[in-house]
Amino acid sequence: MTQTNTTTDQLALLSLKSQIMSDPFHFLDESWSPAVSVCHWIGVTCGSRNQRVKSLNLSNMALAGRITREFGNLTFLVSLDLGSNNFHGNLPQEMTRLRRLKFLDLSSTASAGRFPLGLGFYTNFNF
């Protein structure tokens, strides 16, 4: 079961990577590979017990792109920091599935678009 859950997280992050149009420092190109456990990718922290992605910190990487619907499959995510990047478009409605999310930072991000209904119950948001 852990392998399936890790695969779900890996596919969600690879979907995000596929929508990154600019990675000038090649952070994701060099680190985010299906050949390596998602828990060893740059910016990813996994829980020690279940090996699910619990934190994603891609701040200050000068990334440009959009957040995909599959991102909502990171259901163990507690902290998400995408600050100081260039993400555009609306946040997908599927992000409302991130019920464990306690920290979200989109500060200095060019355009995060609209927030889906249901994200309003979160605390510790920075824009």
In angstroms, the CA 36 to CA 119 distance is: 32
- Distance CA(25)–CA(52), nearest Å, equals 26
pLDDT of residue 127: 47
Q: What is the pLDDT of residues 44-79, one digit of tens each?
A: 999 999 899 999 999 999 999 999 999 999 999 999
Overall domain count for the chain = 1
Please compute the mean of the pLDDT values over residues 13-18 and round it to a whole number.
97
**Containing structural domain, residue 59:** 2-126
| Residue 106 confidence class, pLDDT cut points 50, 70, 90 | confident
Per-residue pLDDT tens over the stretch 85-103: 998 888 889 989 999 999 9
At residue 1, the pLDDT reads 44
Question: Domain containing 58 — which CATH number?
Answer: 3.80.10.10
